[in-house]
Amino acid sequence: MTIENLSSNKSFGGWHKQYSHRSETLGCRMRFAIYLPPGVANGEKVPVLYWLSGLTCTDENFMQKAGAHRVAAELGMAIVAPDTSPRGDDVADDESYDLGQGAGFYVNATESPWHPHYRMYDYVLNELPALIESVFPVTDQRSISGHSMGGHGALVLALRNPERFQSVSAFSPISNPVNCPWGKKAFTAYLGKDTARWAEYDASLLMRDATQFVPALVDQGDADNFLTEQLQPEALEASASISNYPLELNFREGYDHSYFFIASFIDQHLRFHGRYLGCSTLQS
């Protein structure tokens, strides 16, 4: 598969790079960013943390704002951040920020006009890891994390595919999308009116019924203006109690929905994933 290098920046002894490629799954060109820690220069293969961003974001938000490179370099962990949706002139879009380009919701759309391109679930689960593992010096050990819409995506992908991920974490995830305005709007458009399809992409419902577990960490700011109406972490907490799911859910006093919140706790998330990815340079 041909990929094009768009940019390259040295960071904490490693490299942050942007690439584009033609996605067969999405039927358009896609962009992703990767952070490669210093060890790969010595021929080491490293595990990968996949990061899924939220509404209106691209691959750039996390890589430039979260401050994750320092600890990723220490741990010997690669980070891969894809875009949040397919894009292009021939890709369906909507004038609102919470549907269409920049708002893929990490589902496989079944409804027109979305289904030809909006297959972010398959892209993140299959095509992107296959590309990363064929091109870069990484192992097949993967974990996944994300924020808001991306937190929803990370939890759903891990809960539905526990054999594929060593751990999962999320900041301010949309925990119960079948019961919130963002989720109802997106799922109706992408999946149609059959709510049985919606349940396949609801982290709370999946966690409630889980029989195979991936260690999970969720951080939520209690000053988040989306907390009550859109995010509903209490549904995730209730589901974990039913299935005895290994979920650590932290409510952080005074924190909102922004990247200031993510930057404040990203080190803890990276170290959490490092434990399950077998990173050898972990420090307390």
Cα separation, 2 vs 147, in Å, equals 29
Evaluate whether residue 13 is within a structural domain. yes
**Does position 1 have pLDDT exceeding 80, yes or no?**
no
Evaluate whether residue 76 is within a structural domain. yes
The answer to whether the CB of 137 falls within 8 A of the CB of 45 is yes
pLDDT, residue 284, reads: 35
Could you tell me which residues come within 8 angstroms of residue 11 by beta carbon, excluding any fewer than 6 positions away?
A: 35, 69, 73
Query: What are the two backbone dihedrals, phi and then psi, of residue 70, each rounded to the nearest 5 degrees?
Result: -60, -50
Residue 50's domain is classified under what CATH number? Answer: 3.40.50.1820
Evaluate whether residue 281 is within a structural domain. no
pLDDT digits (tens, 9 = 90+) for 15-38: 999 999 999 999 999 999 999 999
Evaluate whether residue 241 is within a structural domain. yes
Band of the pLDDT at 281, cuts 50, 70, 90? Answer: low
Evaluate whether residue 119 is within a structural domain. yes
Q: Which two tokens stand for residue 242?
A: 């039913």
Evaluate whether residue 139 is within a structural domain. yes
Cα separation, 109 vs 188, in Å, equals 10
pLDDT, residue 2, reads: 87
On the question of a cis peptide bond just before residue 38, with omega within 30 degrees of 0, the verdict is no
Neighbours of 29 (CB within 10 A): 14
pLDDT digits (tens, 9 = 90+) for 130-187: 999 999 999 999 999 999 999 999 999 999 999 999 999 999 999 999 999 999 999 9
Residue 107: give the domain boundaries: 1-275
Tell me the average pLDDT of the chain: 96
pLDDT digits (tens, 9 = 90+) for 34-91: 999 998 988 889 999 999 999 999 999 999 999 999 999 999 999 999 999 999 999 9
pLDDT digits (tens, 9 = 90+) for 87-106: 999 999 999 999 999 999 99
pLDDT, residue 115, reads: 97
Cα separation, 187 vs 30, in Å, equals 23
The answer to whether the CB of 266 falls within 8 A of the CB of 252 is no
Cα separation, 51 vs 170, in Å, equals 9
pLDDT digits (tens, 9 = 90+) for 183-225: 999 999 999 999 999 999 999 999 999 999 999 999 999 999 9
Catalytic residues: 148, 224, 257
| Torsion-angle region of 254 (φ positive above 0: left; ψ -120 to 50: alpha; else: beta) | left
Cα separation, 6 vs 266, in Å, equals 26
Cα separation, 264 vs 245, in Å, equals 26
User: What domain count does the chain have?
Assistant: 1
The answer to whether the CB of 72 falls within 8 A of the CB of 33 is no
Evaluate whether residue 284 is within a structural domain. no
Query: Minimal CA–CA distance to 79: which of 123, 43, 36?
Result: 36
| CA 8 to mean position of chain CA atoms | 22
